Structure 1
Amino acid sequence: MTDEGDAPDERTRSDTGPGWTTVDTPRSDGEPEWELFLRESPTEPLRHAGSVTAPDPEAAHERATGLFPEATTVWCCPATEVSRVTTRDLGAGYRTEAGGEPS
């Protein structure tokens, strides 16, 4: 559901500026991928919650509400219409420093 753990692959990335990497390869075979945005209360902003694979928006919504039953609002957007951009190194994984905190 997050990019953590995705294997680095130079064919799946393209630089869009200093420190930014676009992720543009689907994470599944077959079914379309849907990005999930939700809120758990009417006063909080929408937040990206992850993604699911499903054949259509109705099935994506069903899977999303199963994963996030506390959500009051769920948006299921086709992943092909969402640009995923990150400032972190997708291949870095979790490294610990002397203090034991991830870098």
Structure 2
Amino acid sequence: MKLKPLHDRVLVKRLEEEEKTAGGIIIPDSAKEKPIKGEVVAAGPGKVSAEGKKIEMSVKKGDKVLFNKYAGTEVKIDGVEYLVMREDDILAILD
């Protein structure tokens, strides 16, 4: 199944966090927080302003991004979990 986001929405796949702390302690699954980093899998065409002008997206497919902790709606496609969120929920693009 393919999913194409509409307007200013973005499809993001979460990136896995480290399973060890800097000191070498292994974190169990029950204590892990959901990662706030992800990779953009698909992006919509952009938003239309009140004046009717198209506002292009700042992110594109393949960008690594940092997003709000509680951003987006979780969806499962072909057994893989993704987030569908607005571009406004993205805080930064990671280099």
TM-score by length of 2: 0.28
More strand by share: 2
TM-score normalised by length of structure 1: 0.27
